[in-house]
Amino acid sequence: MKKISNAKALRRVQDDLKQNYDPNKKLVTICAGTGCRGYGCIKVKEELEAEIAKQKMDVEVRATGCFGFCEKGPLVVVHPEKIFYQQVKIKDVPDIISKTVATGEVLEKLLYRDPQNNETVMREEDVPFYKKQHRLVFGSNGMIDPTRIEDYLIIGGYSALAKALTEMTPEGVISEVKKAGLRGRGGGGFLAGTKWESCRRAPGEPKYVIGNGDEGDPGAYMDRSLMEGNPHSVIEGMIIGAYAIGASEGYIYVRNEYPLAVLHLTMAMASAKEAGLLGKNILGTDFSFDIHINKGGGAFVCGESSALFASIEGRAGEPRAKYIHAVEKGLWDKPTCLNNVETWANVPIIINQGAQSYASVGTEGSKGTKIFSLVGKINNTGLIEVPMGMTLREIIYDMGGGIPKGRKFKAVQTGGPSGGCIPESLLDLPVDFDKLYEVGSMMGSGGMIVMDDRSCMVDVAKYFLGFLQEESCGKCIPCREGVRRMHEILEDICAGKGKEGDVELLEHISTGVADGSLCALGGSAPNPVLSTIKYFREEYEAHIKNHRCPAGVCKALITYSINPDKCTGCGLCIKVCPTQATSGEKKKPHAINNDLCTRCGACIESCKFDAITVE
Amino acid sequence: MVNLIIDGKNVTAKKDTMVLEAARSAGVDIPTLCAHEAVSRAGSCRLCVVEIKKGNRTRIVTSCLYPVEEGLIVNTKTERVLNVRRLVLELLLARCPRSEVLQNLAKELGVDPQPRFLPDTDKGKCILCRSCVRVCEEVVGVSAIGMSARGSHKTVGTPFKETSSVCIGCGACVYVCPTGHIVMQSTGDKRKIWKRTFKMQTCEKCGKYFAPVDQLKFISKKTGVPYNELAVCTECR
């Protein structure tokens, strides 16, 4: 792309692109996020292109960022009708091209079928998963080819930057972000505008801005999808932030396990530079700013700001005490403003829309939308973007489609490994920064792991503490040793070796670890234990006092048996059992030999008659 | 000068003094393990935590790293503070059950070992405070040792646990170690530390072995003083 010399020229480029774009022209978009790539979407895309060539049609096939509905990938949308196809396979391609693209015929079998009424849904926005979403940040993902800057420009990309640079003062930008009430999306929830203001005022040169893309929570991938699917929105936000703060250099910290995010960010930065939107004299102004990509090695703790600085500086990723704030002394002891990549992506929206409009969405204390990754025991796994204040029930049942196999909801873990588990009684909780904190959990970066009645809450706490024990940097004693000891006790409880007083001891260690740890990783590490004790104490007691795991998960405490009244003798459990513990004659009730059974659960998963009971 | 209140006492301290030093100068004792005067502060042992009050907000901070502030109210013995210290000592006693330093400190603070914690057998007396790593880097300037791995797998030692070619056998790490974990054996003309044996230099005047040859060579190179001028022990100098 040719260099864009000023704000006016940018508008011309955008207008030219729009004029040359025919909205009624046939276009097939296919989700090419990491999730759909796992389903083989690249092969489907190649097949689409080959079929179009074969049929000598003039139709563009566009590989875009993540659509969010990962449960049903690979996802394909045929434009301009916006016909939404899910779970598309290579063999479906000829029909899509010759029928839907060529004649507009809708292929019923590829449409999403709403399990509530068994009816098919044709358009993406009518699918229940999308219906209640408010896709402010994520909305363009499905239209943009993230490797082409033109796709971003055509939807008005970099207009916010032009507006900030030519119509607003740095202070004006900060004031707008403050008025918008934008809070940090990485977990802290600190007011972004206030942070920017302190950083602007802090003495010292140069100043740095950092995009934190070191997403490390198990089951969370919204930052990845954002960086992969719409890298320019993050970059534009950072450039505006740098202008407001007075920074000349920036870093995006992204883990190397996100190769597609690294690639798309790198390509986006290169094309933004070529277009004069990044680098020296941006849009012909005096303002210069450059971004580097720093690839992380995948340590969870490096998402903590001071550990992240250490990592960029080339040292081991260990946090330091932050009594002097990063906005004064951050990266290389210079004033540094670090925000999560999702926070940065919200900035162009605020500048374009204005603070007032932006702040009209959300709750009193939490404005705008939030992207959540909805995973675990949920029908519609995927990424959703909802206005702050939506209830957990709406998220889990309306968008998530409820719990698979009609099982009962038990809890949802929000905020990543150091968040808390929220029980069924709080399903009507409006989700925002403050409300989640009040019930002993947190927003975190937006992970939501749904659990059904077959999840043991002690086992869940053990899992998260195990994760945190491995991911603690090991610098300070309460976190390194305290989390390890808590994990040991939880392992004991799950193995039937829990002792009277263990729950109280866990609470005692929790307070010490939370109060005494150096950084927020240790400070919040006890949350999974504290919240599960708070809401599921009886489950801990059943393990310790009665040596029972009510959810039937902890292997040392359970036995499997077959209910002869329900068993039809189909033989499936015999087939799937890896240890030959199940046996029986055809059409006669089977039995399980508990000496051989490893309680792996394969028979339960396979049984269609719910005949296997766990006690 | 900055005025603050520590445990009810009015204390005046120079700007940039840490709360730990301000408290000590006022006769308020705060236990520490990792704050050694020879090295920079890491804030890793967490024993020196105190509770500070600003306006209506109280919070726990590390006194060895928290600079004094005008009007700051510091309490060094609140229940929250003692709870953290108690936990830290319980955890350390379980990690290093053979450390006398820790046993004595626990006794002093009235902390008993937590019976529910199975004592470790493989950690020696090391609490991973990194005083040794810091002195080697900041004071000696050779960085022969460092930390490796993460979380509960973290250990201190030479890179890849191989004998270090840059170690000069000076023993500064032994000197700053608060718990006596690092072992240095000096017998006759040999000194053994970090699995490496160093040849010792005799004092040209009294004939006693007094320093590793490598250490004197390092000092000579660094300062430009000829080696033979360094071959005299501090007592005879």
Yes or no, beta carbons of B60 and A515 under 8 Å apart = yes
Strand A369-376 versus strand A382-387 pairing type? antiparallel
Over the stretch A388-406, which tens digit does the pLDDT of each residue have?
Answer: 999 999 999 999 999 998 8
Same domain for B104 and B135, yes or no, is no
Same domain for A475 and A511, yes or no, is yes
Please indicate if any CB of chain A lies within 8 Å of the CB of B196: no
> What pLDDT was estimated at residue B172?
96
Out of B45, B86, B150, the one facing A477 most closely (by C-beta) is B45
Same domain for A411 and A462, yes or no, is no
Parent domain of A589: 559-614
Same domain for A503 and A585, yes or no, is no
**C-alpha distance from residue A106 to each of A81, A97, A115, A589 (Å):** 10, 11, 20, 47
CA–CA distance, B212 with B190 (Å, rounded to integer): 8
Higher pLDDT, B6 or A415: B6
> In chain A, which residues have their Cβ closer than 8 Å to the Cβ of B95?
481
**C-alpha distance from residue B5 to each of A118, B68, B76 (Å):** 70, 10, 11
Same domain for A235 and A296, yes or no, is yes
> In chain A, which residues have their Cβ closer than 8 Å to the Cβ of B88?
477-478, 512, 516
pLDDT level of residue A251 (50, 70, 90 thresholds): very high
Contact between A566 and A610 (Cβ < 8 Å): yes
User: Which region among A214-223, A289-298, A391-400, A474-483 has the lowest average model confidence (pLDDT)?
Assistant: A214-223
Same domain for B161 and B102, yes or no, is no
Task: Answer whether residue B95 is part of any domain.
Answer: yes
> What pLDDT was estimated at residue A187?
81
Same domain for B99 and B136, yes or no, is no
Task: Answer whether residue B123 is part of any domain.
Answer: no
Same domain for A328 and A423, yes or no, is no
Q: Is the dihedral angle over the CA atoms A564, A569, A570, A574 positive or is it negative?
A: positive
Whether the per-residue pLDDT at A458 is higher than 90: the answer is yes
> In chain A, which residues have their Cβ closer than 8 Å to the Cβ of B86?
512
> What pLDDT was estimated at residue A615?
83
Task: Answer whether residue B119 is part of any domain.
Answer: no
pLDDT in tens, chain B (237 residues): 999 999 999 999 999 999 999 999 999 999 999 999 999 998 999 999 999 998 889 999 999 999 999 999 999 999 999 999 999 999 999 999 999 999 999 999 999 999 999 999 999 999 999 999 999 999 999 999 999 999 889 999 999 999 999 999 999 999 999 999 999 999 889 999 999 999 999 999 999 999 999 999 999 999 999 998 999 988 888
> In chain B, which residues have their Cβ closer than 8 Å to the Cβ of A316?
147
Yes or no, beta carbons of A321 and B118 under 8 Å apart = no
Residue A119's domain is classified under what CATH number? 3.40.30.10
Same domain for A153 and A279, yes or no, is yes
Whether the per-residue pLDDT at A152 is higher than 90: the answer is yes
Give mean pLDDT, residues A351-369: 95
Same domain for A106 and A243, yes or no, is no
Q: If you search the block for the tokens 């409300």, which residue do you land on?
A: A435
Angle at A434 between CA A429 and CA A440, to 5 degrees: 70
> B122 is written with which tokens?
């493989």
Please indicate if any CB of chain A lies within 8 Å of the CB of B188: no
Residue A610's domain is classified under what CATH number? 3.30.70.20
Give mean pLDDT, residues A244-257: 96
Over the stretch A332-346, which tens digit does the pLDDT of each residue have?
Answer: 999 999 999 999 999
Same domain for B74 and B158, yes or no, is no
Yes or no, beta carbons of B92 and A477 under 8 Å apart = yes
> Percentage of chain A with pLDDT > 90?
86
> What pLDDT was estimated at residue B190?
95
Residues 104-123 of B with CB under 8 A from A: 114, 116-118
> What pLDDT was estimated at residue B234?
85
- Please state the domain count of chain A: 5
Task: Answer whether residue A427 is part of any domain.
Answer: yes
> In chain A, which residues have their Cβ closer than 8 Å to the Cβ of B128?
474-475, 477, 480
pLDDT level of residue A601 (50, 70, 90 thresholds): confident
Same domain for B85 and B135, yes or no, is no
- Please state the domain count of chain B: 2
User: Which of residues A93, A128, A163 is at a domain's end?
Assistant: A128
Q: Both ends of chain A: CA-CA distance in Å? A: 66
Residues of A with CB under 8 A from a CB of B: 299, 301, 316, 320-321, 323, 469-478, 480-482, 484-485, 488-489, 499, 501-502, 505, 508-509, 511-513, 515-518
Out of B67, B87, B128, the one facing A323 most closely (by C-beta) is B67
Task: Answer whether residue B116 is part of any domain.
Answer: no
Residue B77's domain is classified under what CATH number? 3.10.20.740
Same domain for A594 and A538, yes or no, is no
Same domain for A417 and A399, yes or no, is yes
Task: Answer whether residue A595 is part of any domain.
Answer: yes
Yes or no, beta carbons of B87 and A469 under 8 Å apart = no
> In chain A, which residues have their Cβ closer than 8 Å to the Cβ of B91?
477-478, 481-482, 485
Task: Answer whether residue B87 is part of any domain.
Answer: yes
Angle at A92 between CA A32 and CA A109, to 5 degrees: 105
Whether the per-residue pLDDT at A275 is higher than 90: the answer is yes
> A273 is written with which tokens?
């530079």
**Beta-strand runs (E) in A377-516:** 382-387, 409-414, 420-423, 447-452
Residues 149-168 of B with CB under 8 A from A: 149-154
Same domain for A187 and A228, yes or no, is yes
Same domain for B11 and B89, yes or no, is yes
> In chain A, which residues have their Cβ closer than 8 Å to the Cβ of B105?
none
CA–CA distance, A64 with A61 (Å, rounded to integer): 9
Parent domain of B208: 131-230
Task: Answer whether residue A35 is part of any domain.
Answer: yes
Question: Cis bond leading into A578, ω under 30°?
Answer: no
Sheet holding B209-212, edge to edge: B184-187, B190-193, B196-202, B209-212
> In chain A, which residues have their Cβ closer than 8 Å to the Cβ of B117?
485, 488
Yes or no, beta carbons of A512 and B92 under 8 Å apart = no
> What pLDDT was estimated at residue A218?
84
Task: Answer whether residue A351 is part of any domain.
Answer: yes
Residue A332's domain is classified under what CATH number? 3.40.50.11540
Whether the per-residue pLDDT at A115 is higher than 90: the answer is no
- Give the distance from residue A161's alpha carbon to the nearest chain B alpha carbon, in angstroms: 39
> In chain B, which residues have their Cβ closer than 8 Å to the Cβ of A475?
42, 44, 128, 130
Out of B80, B127, B152, the one facing A515 most closely (by C-beta) is B80
Same domain for A394 and A335, yes or no, is no
Same domain for A337 and A189, yes or no, is yes
Yes or no, beta carbons of B44 and A473 under 8 Å apart = no
What is the distance, to the nearest Å, from the Cα of residue A504 to the centroid of all Cα atoms in its chain? 34
Same domain for B94 and B154, yes or no, is no
Task: Answer whether residue A11 is part of any domain.
Answer: no
Contact between A461 and A451 (Cβ < 8 Å): no
Yes or no, beta carbons of A515 and B62 under 8 Å apart = no
